[in-house]
Amino acid sequence: MGKEKQKEIVQKLKLIGSWLEEKKGEDLLLLDVSKLSNVFEGVILATASNARHAKGLADYILEKVKEENWELLGLEGYQGGEWILLDLNDVIVHIFLEDIREFYNLEGFWFKAEKVEL
């Protein structure tokens, strides 16, 4: 991946992170996984206080994605609200309830990824 594309991904991660922060998403973790994945370049992990909050975060991201005219490839877990995954093609957003996030420990899976500061 070229430097320009990487810069774009970092900017996208920061923008999505700021949207999550705006709506009180907690424990935000923005990761550049471009050197570790051939499928996507960025991962965002966020914690919601409850299922309603998780759905609200997802709704807000979906609204903003539409405004930005970005591609949404998939949405999983919205009904239950415990772990919502938004596939934005080059960035994957995970919104968890705290206990679910701890159980699956994606931070551990992506421990080699480059952290992006918000």
Mean pLDDT of the chain: 96
pLDDT digits over 4-16, tens only? 888 899 999 999 9
* Structural domain total, the chain: 1
Please return the burial class of 40, using the count of CB atoms within 10 Å of its CB with bins 0-12, 13-18 and 19+.
Answer: middle
d(CA 118, CA 104): 23
Q: Which residue has the higher pLDDT, 3 or 105?
A: 105
Q: Which residues pair with 94 in a beta bridge?
A: 45, 85
Q: Which domain holds residue 112?
A: 3-116
Residue 1 has a pLDDT of 64
Please return the burial class of 35, using the count of CB atoms within 10 Å of its CB with bins 0-12, 13-18 and 19+.
Answer: exposed
pLDDT digits over 22-48, tens only? 999 999 999 999 999 989 999 999 999
CATH number for the domain spanning 20: value is: 3.30.460.10
